[in-house]
Amino acid sequence: MKISIIQTSLKWEDKKANYLNFEKFFSSLINKTDVVILPEMFNTGFTMKADSFCEPPDGETFKWMSGVAIKGNFGICGSYIVKEEGRIYNRWVFVSPEKKTWSYDKRHLFSMGGEDNQFSQGRSRLIFNFRGVRISPYVCYDLRFPVWSRNTGDYDLMINSANWPEARINVWNILLKARAIENQCFVAGANLIGTDGEGIKYCGDSALIDPRGEIIAETARYKEGIITGEISITELADFRNRFPVLNDSDKFTIRQ
C-alpha cells in the first residue's frame, strides 16, 4: 500500500480556501497512491469556534472529500468539526473511492487549549480494513496516551492527523516512533506548517515510520509538499512472527 501525506499551511477559519489549497496537490496523486492523509481540522485550523464551523456528518466537507476520493481513486482522511445528535466532535473521517466511510471522534481533548470545553469526547476506537490493511486512526493529542492505542494484533497501520505545535515538536517525533515500536505497526503522522489565527507556530515533521521506528518517508521541516511511502503487510507479518513482542504484552480492559 502507498501512503501519501500532504503537509501545508492552513487558512485560518476559511474552508473554501483550504479546499482549494489541498486540491493543488491532488493531481499528482491520481491513481498513484492508496491513502492521502490530511492534518487535524484541515478545513479551518485548530479553532475553538465549534458552533460556528461545525457541520452535519454529510455536510460540505464530507461531500468535498467524497469527490476527491472518487476522482483520485484513493482514500482520503483527516479531521474536521462535526455536529451530530446535539454534540460537537473533532471527527476524523476516511472516505474511500467506493463511497465507504469510517469515522473516529477524538478521545483525548486538549484541555490546555480549551478543546474539552467546546467538543464532546470520543468513546470508541476505530479499526477498519482498506485495501488489505487494517487501519486504526487517532487525532493529535491522542498520541500521548499509549494505552488507548495499544495494539492487540488487530491493526497494521496507525494514522495520526495533528496540529502539533513547533514548541513541542521533539515530543511529536519521539512519540511517533515509540507508538510504532511498541505496537509493531506502521505509523503515519500528518502535521502542518505556518502560524495559525491564535499565533501558534507549526513546523511540520510529517512522517511515515516502520515497526522498528525507522523513517520510511518524511517531510522537510517548514516546507509544504507531499511525501509518499510504501508499506508491506507481508513484511510486517514476517517481522511480527520473527520477533513476537505483542505475545508478551500485558492484558487489560479500558473502562469507558
Active site residue ranges: 40, 106, 140
Using the Cα atoms of residue 136, residue 137, residue 140 and residue 141 in order, give the sign of their dihedral: negative
The answer to whether residues 192 and 201 touch, using CB atoms and an 8 Å cutoff, is no
Among residues 179, 177, 189, the alpha carbon closest in space to that of 219 is found at 189
Q: Is 218 helix (H, G, I), strand (E, B) or coil?
A: strand
The answer to whether residues 66 and 94 touch, using CB atoms and an 8 Å cutoff, is no
Using the Cα atoms of residue 159, residue 1, residue 153 and residue 249 in order, give the sign of their dihedral: negative
Residue 194: strand pairing partners: 202
In the numeric block, which cell numbers belong to residue 66? 467524497
The answer to whether residues 103 and 71 touch, using CB atoms and an 8 Å cutoff, is no
What span, in angstroms and rounded, lies between the C-alpha atoms of 96 and 9? 24
What span, in angstroms and rounded, lies between the C-alpha atoms of 145 and 131? 28
Residue 174 CB partners (closer than 8 Å, separation 6+): none
Question: Which position has the grid cell 511525501?
Answer: 227
CA-based end-to-end distance of the chain:
33
